[in-house]
């Protein structure tokens, strides 16, 4: 579009530095950001930092259902939304809102789709040995199932833990957005068919990391679980024989080659 008619964009995000990096990249383009949309869990100061990337007075809308917001509904009804850009927005965007945007919507996701849609992507990527990385894709009604525009990968060296994987995934999300935003805005980005992603719910991760004291486990699996839970204060939950629960945290790090003479 020409500078007299910039694209009108809904920028949906969480409050992280990755979303802010994407906002800065977008702000350097000739666009009109209608609003920054964040979930209810995002602190207002974090939302304000992102909104300031687009200039003073940028509207902030805090909601888990943007399709039901009164102002967004009005923009949709008046055909004013050019495209939805989702940078780690944590809630599902309904098909009615995606369809209301002239070019649809794109999302960046910290996993190599169709593996590991949803949350806990670093854990499941390590534990199930699926590819690690990030994806930028078109949004459809089904979560994380739209056609892939581009992907980037992380080498799994068998030692890297979830915290480092997550950090690298977010870095790749930012790079994917910056590298593809121009073709997306120009409507020249590829639009391949999508496919459903694999998903794991909260109960799955609890089940995978909970044991009884007399359980047995292969060491290869224990190693992957240790790597997969090495983020924040996570770990394995073990029920002792007296009914108490304990948290077991496993640290995995590579040792230097063993000195033959020291054997």
Token pair 């590579």: residue: 254
**Could you say which DSSP state residue 246 is in?**
E
Domain boundary among 129, 155, 185: 185
Task: Clarify whether residues 19 and 101 are in a common domain.
Answer: yes
Is the residue at 195 inside a domain?
no
Token pair for residue 212? 């009884």
Distance CA(247)–CA(210), nearest Å, equals: 9
Task: Clarify whether residues 117 and 29 are in a common domain.
Answer: yes
Distance CA(209)–CA(120), nearest Å, equals: 13
Distance CA(207)–CA(124), nearest Å, equals: 13
- The CATH number of the domain where 88 resides is what? 3.40.50.170
Task: Clarify whether residues 170 and 229 are in a common domain.
Answer: no
Token pair 């799955």: residue: 204
Task: Clarify whether residues 61 and 111 are in a common domain.
Answer: yes
What is the tally of structural domains in the chain?
2
pLDDT digits (tens, 9 = 90+) for 112-150: 999 999 999 999 999 999 999 999 999 999 999 999 999
Task: Clarify whether residues 143 and 214 are in a common domain.
Answer: no
pLDDT of residue 207: 96
Longest dimension (CA), the chain: 77
With 80 as the cut, is the pLDDT of residue 262 above it?
no
Q: Number of helices and strands (H, E) in the chain?
A: 8, 10
Residue 151: φ, ψ to 5°: -140, 155
pLDDT of residue 5: 74
Residue 174: φ, ψ to 5°: -60, -45
Token pair 């004013």: residue: 80
With 50 as the cut, is the pLDDT of residue 3 above it?
no
Task: Clarify whether residues 97 and 173 are in a common domain.
Answer: yes
- Using only C-alpha atoms, the chain has a radius of gyration, in whole angstroms, of 21
Task: Clarify whether residues 181 and 215 are in a common domain.
Answer: no
The boundaries of the domain holding residue 227 are 202-262
Mean pLDDT of the chain: 95
Token pair for residue 73? 């509904």
Task: Clarify whether residues 120 and 231 are in a common domain.
Answer: no
Beta strands in the chain (DSSP E): 7-13, 31-38, 60-62, 83-87, 105-109, 132-138, 148-154, 210-212, 236-239, 245-248
pLDDT digits (tens, 9 = 90+) for 30-72: 999 999 999 999 999 999 999 999 999 999 999 999 999 999 9
pTM of structure: 0.93
Distance CA(227)–CA(197), nearest Å, equals: 23
User: What is the band of 27 on the pLDDT scale with cuts at 50, 70, 90?
Assistant: very high
Is residue 204 within a helix (H) or strand (E), and if so which, with residue range? helix 202-208
């Amino acid at each position: 579009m020409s500078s007299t008619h910039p694209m009108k964009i809904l920028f949906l995000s969480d409050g992280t530095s990755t979303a802010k990096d994407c906002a800065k990249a977008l702000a350097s383009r000739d666009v009109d950001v209608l609003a920054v949309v964040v979930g209810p869990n995002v602190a207002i100061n974090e939302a304000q930092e992102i909104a300031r990337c687009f200039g003073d007075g940028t509207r902030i809308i805090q909601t888990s259902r943007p399709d039901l917001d009164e102002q967004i509904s009005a923009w949709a009804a008046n055909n004013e939304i050019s495209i939805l850009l989702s940078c780690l927005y944590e809630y599902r965007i309904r098909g009615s809102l995606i369809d209301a945007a002239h070019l649809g919507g794109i999302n960046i996701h910290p996993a190599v789709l169709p593996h590991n849609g949803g949350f806990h992507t670093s854990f499941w990527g390590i534990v199930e040995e699926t590819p690690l990385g990030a994806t930028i894709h078109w949004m459809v009604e089904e979560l994380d199932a739209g056609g892939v525009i581009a992907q980037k990968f992380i080498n799994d060296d068998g030692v890297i833990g979830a915290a480092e994987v997550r950090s690298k995934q977010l870095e790749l999300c930012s790079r994917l957005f910056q590298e593809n935003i121009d073709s997306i805005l120009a409507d020249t980005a590829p639009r391949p068919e999508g496919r459903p992603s694999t998903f794991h719910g909260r109960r799955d991760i609890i089940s995978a990391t909970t044991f009884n004291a007399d359980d047995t486990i292969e060491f290869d699996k224990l190693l992957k679980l240790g790597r997969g839970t090495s983020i924040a204060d996570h770990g394995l939950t073990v029920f002792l024989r007296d009914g108490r629960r304990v948290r077991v945290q496993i640290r995995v790090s590579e040792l230097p080659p063993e000195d033959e003479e020291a054997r």
